[in-house]
Chains A and B, each alone.
Chain A
Amino acid sequence: MTEGFALPTRFGAQSLGGCYAPETLMQPLLDLEAAFRAASVDPAFLAELRAELRHFVGRPTPLTPAPRLAAKLGLKVLFLKREDLTHTGAHKINNALAQAILARRMGKTEIIAETGAGQHGVATAAACARLGLACTVYMGVTDMARQAPNVARMRLFGAKVMPVEAGQGTLKEAVNEALRAWAGQCDRAHYILGSALGPHPFPTLVRSFQTVIGEEARAQVMDQSGSLPEVVLACAGGGSNGLGLLVPFLGDGLRRVAVEAGGYGTALGEHAARLDGGHMGVLHGCKTLLLQDEHGHTAETASISAGLDYPALGPELAALVLDGQVEVRRASDEEALTGARMLCENEGILPALESSHALALLPALVAEGVATVLLGLSGRGDKDLSTYQARLGI
């Protein structure tokens, strides 16, 4: 087996993405791509995935009109794509489950994952419990503290949660440690990466397992309103729910918007807004927009939401942004909290802090004259209750 990759490894005019992996991981990545290509055209795999998404995950998820919040903000129409209603409570399960099925097909018996907000960790732990695979999740110690309910859920599902002390104790360090662990166990373990980043084929794999969000949403919005909205909107950490929602709308004449974490300031280290201050670099196996210093060392990041607190934007989403297909905006910690509160009070839905960044952009869109929006509600906010309590004084 001396062939290289068969699928495109690069995205957009600036050739983002690629496969910047240590040699030890190259053959596992080549094998993964081959298994993915075979599975994508295998009716048995596709049927199993479809059945699991329906009966275990709860797909299709609803598209919920949000008329009271729309009226409050001055929008004519607001639809919410309800990934918060999936089993385990976020879009992450779409990818985790699909990769777990793929890993089992490859004969892998152990699963490694990283997690930031804990949603990908919980989704992976649940998928592994269902499929009978051993699961180890790497999580930064800062994130373990701020997303404690998800740590408990992972453990209940039988996963081993490995605390990562290095650096800021957030998602970047968890990915570092997961990649190291995978290099040590790649003969028997599969690494389920949780966002559309990392070395090829991960960005493509993850996006392809997440576009079910946008495919459903597009059909649902046409069905319910007979037309497409002016704006389709999602939050962006690595970019998996963003790509999942936005890619199926790429051919449409509408605005596609991704919202990054604006943190508490605009200086390097105070946010995770890769479009403001990020430049091209290589981290975790791919070339993309990266927050870094002039020496090529990764910069620190800050966000109230663990899932958006990551220094790199996934390469495919970054390429779509640089090539003018997707707009990127930012929302601060405070704006996200306000967005969450408005959804709670007007619609009775508690959003994840990540998803709240998308909600936070709605007033700005209204100010720009936008009247109809489809918003990806990527996850539910139960995991964030302690932050909401502390920051909203409830």
Chain B
Amino acid sequence: MSLNPLLPFLMAGDPSLEALPALLAEAKALGLEAIELGLPHSDPIADGPVLQAAAHRAIARGATPRRVLESLAGLSESPDIILFTYLNPLFQMGAERLKQLLAPTPVRALLVVDLPFGEESDLEATLRTAGYPMVPLLAPTTTLGRARQILLDRPDPGPSACFAQRFAYVVARLGVTGTGQGMDREPISRRLEALKGLTERPLAVGFGLSDPQSLSVIRTMGATPVIGSALVQELAEGRSLREALTPRMVDDV
């Protein structure tokens, strides 16, 4: 059974940095095309309790941004990685150092939660030129007009580019990341339809998706569901990626 389309989220350094290469290899063996990898931050203002706790565990175990990126260097058995992060760690590293650290890794795109388009245009242009585009984020509060601007500012590299560098991330609900109970189907469906009128890009939908039904509903809408908090929780409890993901891949709604 194929897991695709599915975009799992892992927190780098949780359960441990040493376990990360094996987790990525398992993801690749499961046929996953891309994963989001969270860079643990001290003040994750867009994350709910599960990812906050995971980030703090990872930091306490020494998962600094540099060590995370170094642990990804040279990995060939990995899906494409979308690095999910807050701006300040990247800002402190600086564009040049960041490019050097990213070069030998499977990171293909950056999702910087607290970086709206236009706030750091130079940094963003430098990174895009180097092969690390920023993922456009579209929230429930994002008007269609603003969505059009965002998608122009963070342009579609075209159908030959990989999913990681092409997709737009649709935030499913108001609020922060976390596990959810079911999902309000109608508004998401309407938003996805409207966005499909604006762009040819693949769309991923995340925030609060954890149960098989929600994941399946997103797939039937032609989008890729993101599973984050629920997965991170299960990995922290000692389950493997396969054990955590396969029970969720039922196809009836």
Contact = CB atoms under 8 A, between A and B. Distances in A.
A296 B91 contact: yes
B148 A2 contact: yes
Contacts of A24: 46, 139-141, 171, 174-175
Nearest to B59: A297
A118 B88 CA distance: 28
Interface string A4-37: 1000000000000011111111111000000000
A298 interface: yes
Contacts of B137: 22-23
B119 A176 contact: no
Contacts of A25: 141
Nearest to A200: B119
A281 B113 CA distance: 15
Contact of A281 (B52, B59, B65, B92): B92
B62 to A, nearest CB: 10
B46 A26 contact: no
A378 to B, nearest CB: 26
B141 A176 contact: no
Nearest to B48: A180
A296 B92 contact: yes
B145 A2 contact: yes
A180 B92 contact: no
How large, as a class, is the contact surface on chain B?
Answer: 35 or more
Contacts of A22: 45-46, 113-114, 137, 139
B42 interface: yes
Contacts of B150: 23
Nearest to A294: B92
Interface in B73-97: 86-93
Interface string A171-190: 01000100110011111000
A284 interface: yes
A324 to B, nearest CB: 25
Contacts, number: 117
Contact of B138 (A4, A19, A23): A23
B46 A180 contact: yes
B92 A28 contact: no
B238 interface: no
A105 to B, nearest CB: 19
Contacts of B46: 22, 24, 180, 183
Contacts of B52: 166
Contacts of A166: 52
A180 B176 contact: yes
B149 A2 contact: yes
A282 interface: yes
A7 B145 CA distance: 20
B16 interface: no
Interface string B22-51: 000000000000000000011111111000
B146 interface: yes
A283 B92 CA distance: 12
A321 to B, nearest CB: 20
Contacts of A4: 118
Contact of A284 (B45, B59, B91, B138): B45
B56 to A, nearest CB: 8
B91 A1 contact: no
Contact of A185 (B91, B93, B174): B174
Which of B48, B64, B141 lies at the interface centre, i.e. has the most chain A CB atoms within 10 A of its CB? Answer: B141
B157 interface: no
B201 interface: no
A292 interface: yes
Given A23-B139, A281-B88, A295 B65 contact: yes
Given A296-B88, A297-B89, 5 more contacts: A1-B145, A2-B149, A22-B114, A296-B90, A298-B88
Interface of A: 1-2, 4, 18-28, 166-167, 172, 176, 179-180, 183-187, 280-285, 290, 292, 294-298
13 contacts: A1-B143, A19-B116, A23-B141, A27-B139, A27-B142, A176-B43, A180-B176, A184-B175, A184-B176, A281-B91, A282-B114, A283-B43, A297-B88
Minimum-distance CB pairs A-B, first 3: A184-B175, A2-B145, A296-B92
